[in-house]
């Protein structure tokens, strides 16, 4: 039987995490396409952990929702003027 050291297990874990990150990025709704592209281009997704990805996507979603609410509010103000 071969012996496994921590480096081998770390490599396997990083490979699985990389695959999970790629899968998440591919499965996002269209409204996340700009963010997914930015993450792939600007960040080293080989070194990224899934927690970082989730945090980044949650922040983006919050900002997206706030922008949408702000736009609706401006449209209502224009309508009532």
How much of the chain, in percent, has pLDDT values that exceed 90? 42
With a CB cutoff of 8 Å and minimum separation 6, the contacts of 26 are 36
Per-residue model confidence as pLDDT tens digits over 50-76: 999 999 999 999 999 898 888 776 666
For the chain, domain boundaries: 6-80
pTM of the model: 0.67
Instruction: Please determine, for residue 35, whether its predicted confidence score (pLDDT) is greater than 90.
Output: yes
- 3-state SS assignment for residue 5: coil
């Amino acid at each position: 039987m071969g012996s496994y050291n921590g480096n081998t297990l770390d490599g396997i874990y990083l490979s699985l995490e990389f695959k999970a990150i790629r899968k998440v990025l591919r499965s996002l709704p269209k409204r996340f396409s700009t963010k997914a592209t930015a993450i792939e281009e600007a960040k080293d997704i080989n070194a990224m952990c899934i927690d970082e990805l989730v945090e980044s996507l949650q922040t983006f979603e919050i900002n997206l929702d706030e922008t949408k609410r702000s736009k609706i509010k401006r449209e209502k103000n224009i309508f009532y003027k």
